[in-house]
Chains A and B, each alone.
Chain A
Amino acid sequence: MAAFILRRLAQSIIVMLVVGLVAFFMFQFLGDPVNQMVGVDTPVAEREALRERLGLNDPLIIRFGKFVVNAAQLEFGLSYQHKSPVTDLLLERMPATIELSMVSAVIAFALALPAGVYTGLYRNRWSSKAMLTLSLIGISVPTFLIGILFIYLFAVVLGWLPSFGRGDVVTLPGGWTTGLLTASGLKAIILPALTLGLFTLTLIMRLIRAEMLEVLRTDYIKFARARGLTNRAVNFGHALKNTLVPVITVTGLLLGNLIAFAIITESVFQWPGMGRLFLQSIQEVDLPVMSAYLVMISFLFVVLNLVVDILYYVVDPRLRVEGHGSGH
């Protein structure tokens, strides 16, 4: 177990270093930070002094080292556009994004699991085929369009739900803001969460269905039937469990996807999250924000993937034995 986790941890660190490298190069070579900090009429000598002070004249490897050390301390400098610390900007907006993504994830998984299992088990029923075609539409209609349609229908035409913003938020101890505790906050999250979750919902449903079909063809399912086990035991005891093993592995990926796709949803619903900040930073080429977002988001992904790996390890006995076992 320990060896397995250590190996995964090492891989995660490599991923983070690669991401750090990308962020670092972006920061270092796209646009001169000095130009962003001083006026046009600043003399060359003063610029040079600033360069020296910022350590921009150091060898590359030292600068990268400094970058990594700073990044580990969540130190990414000032935003070109907002002229305030990038970390504060991001952390301020992080709860909004995380909350949105998590609510979407819950919606997506809660609906996708039964739908996927149903369409897998009864693949020839017309209801399954209808669900499958519907899910293909879900994949084909882009997130932003669904958002727009939702806004038009529920906010503009019916006037039931707000079309933008987060509603009233409550600040919890520790500085985390949440909209889930107020009526307006809850109302505000419905449309964005549905919009964001829909794509993932269809994706997971189709994945579970495909996996279920694959498992139902295996010999051990046939053998389970030949042993006279009840349909229920075969479908839910055997097939479902085996289906979920590979599904777990992509869960981390999908959760990461949700956080990334929040960029779009936040843009449509003017949700005050990290994604919208990142989008603005791309339009304005605000490099510190871009690289900080990249590093922080990657960190979230890596942690998610690590958790999923450990989960996978717990579920699949085949992995467990390999861990402590060549000397058997």
Chain B
Amino acid sequence: MTDTTSPKLASAKPSLLYRIWDHELCYSFRNSPLTVAAAVVTLLLILSAVFAGFIAPHNPFDLASIDLMDSELPPAWTEDGEARFLLGTDNLGRDIYSTILYGMRISLLVGFASVVLSAVIGISAGLVAGYIGGKVDAVIMRIADIQLSFPTILIALLIDGIMRGILDREQHDAMIIPVLVLSIGISNWVQYARTVRGSTLVERNKEYVQAARIIGLHPILIMIRHVLPNVMGPVLVIATLGLAFAILTEATLSFLGVGMPPTEPSLGTLIQIGNDFLFSGLWWISIFPGMTLAVLVLAVNLLGDWLRDALNPKLR
């Protein structure tokens, strides 16, 4: 009703920027300092990983620049530290700070790619199961149930093991990033599928779907256009929390020695390398990558947690 709205609001249409700023989601974001901090940290870490080549003082992969004489130096602020190596060096003389930046790049790359893969598999499976229904639905959801009763780390390890069986060692090492993405991606599709299937089931019987069929449009196209916007919120939450989980899984696999090799280390590999030196007191080799990993995952988790609460109307 126009006559009850105040004239001030009706006359001045707020700018798009203001409307975004004023939006419920943005409001809850602004009012949660922890979330803002998490967002800033996440953004900083992602940027520093992307621009590692410009930021890092050393290139840990450039063998020519590495001097074994520099190995096992403690952080710069300790007695034996050198200013060149802010966070110290590892057993090969690589600068820890630089390896962390490059390592994080790999961790994030694998993380993002696995999330995309999980989402694509999960959303398609959910759409198909929900739309076709019947036996197809039963089979897909049965597989999902079975997979869900197995811990993801086990499935990821298993897929990694199978890939090792298919590829020989050199091939496997060369293909390690796709192999990791595949392992982690496949082990995490179920949640997407369940969410999308639920929403698809609701939409399937609505009239516009019937109408689309009558005018000869393929209903699945229509479904995608209508179902996807509906599930964007939940999918975004799953994807954010999934990113944190994927980064953790990759780090774990690498730590266990079945992920990124020491020649091309991710954060998990770095921690694993440092683990061997922990007893000789060289704590900085694993502690700094470990802290970076924890902070990155925590920041992403905080964002995901906030998003879930902000999108859940019941908790407002």
Which stretch of A66-74, A110-118, A136-144, A174-182 is in the interface?
Answer: A136-144
Q: Answer yes or no: A86 CB below 8 A from chain B CBs.
A: no
Q: Looking at the complex, which one of B149, B153, B162, B251 makes contact with A261 (CB distance below 8 Å)?
A: B153
How many B residues have CB within 8 A of the partner chain? 43
- The reply to whether A253 and B278 contact each other, CB–CB distance below 8 Å, is no
- The reply to whether A285 and B149 contact each other, CB–CB distance below 8 Å, is no
Q: Answer yes or no: A108 CB below 8 A from chain B CBs.
A: no
Q: Interface code A279-303, partner B: CB below 8 Å = 1, 0 otherwise?
A: 1011101010010001001100110
Specify which chain B residues have a CB less than 8 angstroms from the CB of A15 in the assembled complex. Answer: 146, 149
- The reply to whether B165 and A287 contact each other, CB–CB distance below 8 Å, is yes
- The reply to whether A282 and B258 contact each other, CB–CB distance below 8 Å, is yes
- The reply to whether B161 and A140 contact each other, CB–CB distance below 8 Å, is no
Enumerate 10 A-B pairs (CB-CB under 8 Å) in ascending A order: A141-B298, A142-B268, A148-B278, A253-B148, A260-B154, A263-B154, A264-B252, A278-B157, A279-B257, A281-B161
- The reply to whether B305 and A136 contact each other, CB–CB distance below 8 Å, is yes
Q: Answer yes or no: B314 CB below 8 A from chain A CBs.
A: yes
| Most chain B CB neighbours (cut-off 10 Å) among A22, A278, A281, A285 | A285
Q: Answer yes or no: A184 CB below 8 A from chain B CBs.
A: no
- CB closest chain-A residue, reference B169: A285
Q: Answer yes or no: A208 CB below 8 A from chain B CBs.
A: no
- CB closest chain-A residue, reference B148: A253
- The reply to whether B294 and A145 contact each other, CB–CB distance below 8 Å, is yes
Q: Answer yes or no: A321 CB below 8 A from chain B CBs.
A: no
Chain B residues within 8 Å of A, Cβ to Cβ: 34, 146, 148-151, 153-154, 157-158, 160-162, 164-166, 244, 248, 251-252, 255-258, 268, 271, 275, 278-279, 281, 283, 286-287, 290, 293-294, 297-298, 301-302, 305, 314-315
**Least Cβ distance of B35 to chain A in Å?**
12
- The reply to whether B257 and A283 contact each other, CB–CB distance below 8 Å, is yes
Q: Answer yes or no: A31 CB below 8 A from chain B CBs.
A: yes
- The reply to whether A136 and B164 contact each other, CB–CB distance below 8 Å, is no
Q: Answer yes or no: A243 CB below 8 A from chain B CBs.
A: no
- The reply to whether A279 and B251 contact each other, CB–CB distance below 8 Å, is no
- The reply to whether A30 and B252 contact each other, CB–CB distance below 8 Å, is no
- CB closest chain-B residue, reference A278: B157
**Cα-based distance from A163 to B276 in the complex (angstroms):** 13
- The reply to whether B150 and A156 contact each other, CB–CB distance below 8 Å, is no
Q: Answer yes or no: A247 CB below 8 A from chain B CBs.
A: no
Say whether, besides A26-B165, A136-B302, A279-B258, A264 and B153 are in contact (CB < 8 Å). Answer: yes
Specify which chain A residues have a CB less than 8 angstroms from the CB of B149 in the assembled complex. Answer: 15, 252-253, 256, 301-302, 305
- The reply to whether A285 and B301 contact each other, CB–CB distance below 8 Å, is no
Q: Looking at the complex, which one of B150, B160, B287, B290 makes contact with A298 (CB distance below 8 Å)?
A: B150
**Least Cβ distance of B310 to chain A in Å?**
15
**Cα-based distance from A260 to B152 in the complex (angstroms):** 9
**Least Cβ distance of A282 to chain B in Å?**
4
- The reply to whether A144 and B151 contact each other, CB–CB distance below 8 Å, is no
**Least Cβ distance of A109 to chain B in Å?**
17
- The reply to whether A137 and B298 contact each other, CB–CB distance below 8 Å, is yes
- CB closest chain-B residue, reference A256: B151
Specify which chain B residues have a CB less than 8 angstroms from the CB of A257 in the assembled complex. Answer: 151
**Cα-based distance from A256 to B293 in the complex (angstroms):** 26
| Most chain B CB neighbours (cut-off 10 Å) among A252, A253, A260, A268 | A260
Specify which chain B residues have a CB less than 8 angstroms from the CB of A142 in the assembled complex. Answer: 248, 251-252, 255, 268, 293-294, 297
Specify which chain B residues have a CB less than 8 angstroms from the CB of A302 in the assembled complex. Answer: 149
